[in-house]
Amino acid sequence: MDCLKKLTGKLALLMTLCVPSAEAANQEIRALFRPDPAQPNRNVFINKTPNSGYCAIYPAECAANQTFSIQVPIRFNSTRPIVPGSGGVGVKAPANWRQLTVTNRDTQETETVEIRITGMGSNYLLSDTAANLVGVTDILEGHQKLWTDSGWVYAAPPCLYSGVGSYAPSSYRFFWKTPVQAACTKLPAYTIPSMAFESVDFAYELRTPNPLGMSSGLYTGSMVYSVGPGGDFDMGPMMAPEDSLLSLDFVLDVQHTLKVDLPPGGNKVTLEPEGGWQSWIESGRKPTRIYRDQLFYISASSRFRVMLQCGPGGSSCTLWGRSKFALVDTRLSLPDGIEDNNGPVRDLWLQNGVWYGPFQPRFYADRKAGKLRFEVYKGSIDVVVQPGNNDTFSGDITVIWDSEV
């Protein structure tokens, strides 16, 4: 209870006004995205919430419908005897799509998740055996005759048959599919002094964002449903829940991959004219290009950016000889399926100290080949290939790959 206390006058009259507080049940729903090299085009979250209730008992039924189920310990109790002609009991579920916002705990980025409830059920408990209530001896016959339309295995419209049901002398476990958001009501054929639904089972379906466009980390958010007569989860006007709210607490775990590998020896790059140095040595003919294409292999499932670093100076990097220097340009080509805002990335000139990107995979790139081209600036070729000059030019060039975009 939440109580409001008010102290008035010199007589210290204490007035206490108490109103019932809303009790809430909580259930975590967790899903994971981790790129799968065996299925690079499968960009979906995988449910990581253990099935309980209906889908735990009948997993094949849920697998066929690509749904998952949760059992929450919300009990409904009848508020008066359930008699013929006084109304009925049943289920109504929030079957329409609803949206909620999930937020990355580290970056505060937000995404939208959608959920709908596709099935609902429970185990009803009677104050006496069904056979005694209707005056028969057979247990199943008692449950069938207790209601006007042959028991609970057959769903009341507009709910749909789920294919399963189980019973005991004074209880019946059922589950119905809920294609629309409407009451599915069973009418009693005999008086039931009291009854209860011992818990709530529900199946749900999720629509999640494309994880390739999300940053790594945990995204969290909650969807709160009302429970009870007239609420989102409703089992009829005569059935009162012990909790009036149900909070579904979502955790979407995004675990991206960004890995760049060089082939053996790929960290040492030798620049040469096309066809090698032999032509210049033998003929003295100056080469028109001095370069090397260096392959790399990238695995990426989310956007990233790239920066070239080679010390202070201009936009190009420098190779130093004994007394001279030459400028080198670096260009980046990414595998098909990884693009920037202009489309495929081909021979993108990387300038020293500048970030480029973001680059976005359209699907998980698993060890796909890209290329870095290192080429002596045309104006520096005369410096490198002066006749009679025997020199070695060298320098360090670093390419930084950053997934924290």
User: Whole-angstrom Cα distance, residue 4 to residue 14?
Assistant: 11
User: Whole-angstrom Cα distance, residue 215 to residue 209?
Assistant: 12
Burial of residue 118 (CB within 10 Å: 0-12, 13-18, 19+) is buried
- How do the residues of the chain divide into helix, strand and coil, expressed in percent and rounded to 5? 10, 45, 45
Residue with token string 């919300």: 74
Identity at 105, one-letter amino acid code = R
Instruction: Name the residue among 92, 50, 402 with its Cα closest to residue 239.
Output: 92
- Stated as kind and residue range, the H or E segment containing 241 is strand 239-241
Q: Are 376 and 291 in contact (CB under 8 A)?
A: yes
pLDDT confidence of residue 16: 35
Identity at 301, one-letter amino acid code = S
All residue ranges of the chain with pLDDT < 50 are 1-21
User: Whole-angstrom Cα distance, residue 126 to residue 171?
Assistant: 6
pLDDT confidence of residue 383: 83
Q: Provide the 3-class DSSP secondary structure of residue 60.
A: helix
pLDDT confidence of residue 313: 66
DSSP structure class, residue 147: B
Q: Enumerate the CATH 2.60.40 domain ranges in the chain, comma separated.
A: 258-402
User: Whole-angstrom Cα distance, residue 239 to residue 26?
Assistant: 21
CATH class assigned to 258-402: mainly beta
pLDDT confidence of residue 150: 78
User: Whole-angstrom Cα distance, residue 339 to residue 357?
Assistant: 9
Residue with token string 């924290």: 404
Residue 42: CB atoms within 10 A of its CB come to 12
pLDDT confidence of residue 158: 97
pLDDT confidence of residue 55: 86
pLDDT confidence of residue 207: 92
Q: Are 70 and 202 in contact (CB under 8 A)?
A: yes
Query: How far are the Cα atoms of 72, 215, 221, 253 from residue 105, in angstroms, in the given order?
Result: 26, 11, 10, 11
pLDDT confidence of residue 22: 53
Tens digit of each residue's pLDDT (9 = 90 or more) over 49-107: 999 988 898 888 788 877 788 999 999 999 999 999 988 999 999 999 999 999 999 99
pLDDT confidence of residue 388: 66
User: Whole-angstrom Cα distance, residue 202 to residue 114?
Assistant: 16
- Stated as kind and residue range, the H or E segment containing 350 is strand 348-350
pLDDT confidence of residue 250: 96
Q: Are 300 and 35 in contact (CB under 8 A)?
A: no
Tens digit of each residue's pLDDT (9 = 90 or more) over 135-181: 999 999 999 999 998 788 889 999 998 877 889 999 999 999 999 99
pTM (two decimals): 0.79
Q: Provide the 3-class DSSP secondary structure of residue 224.
A: strand
The pairing of strands 171-177 and 217-226 is unpaired
User: Whole-angstrom Cα distance, residue 352 to residue 312?
Assistant: 8
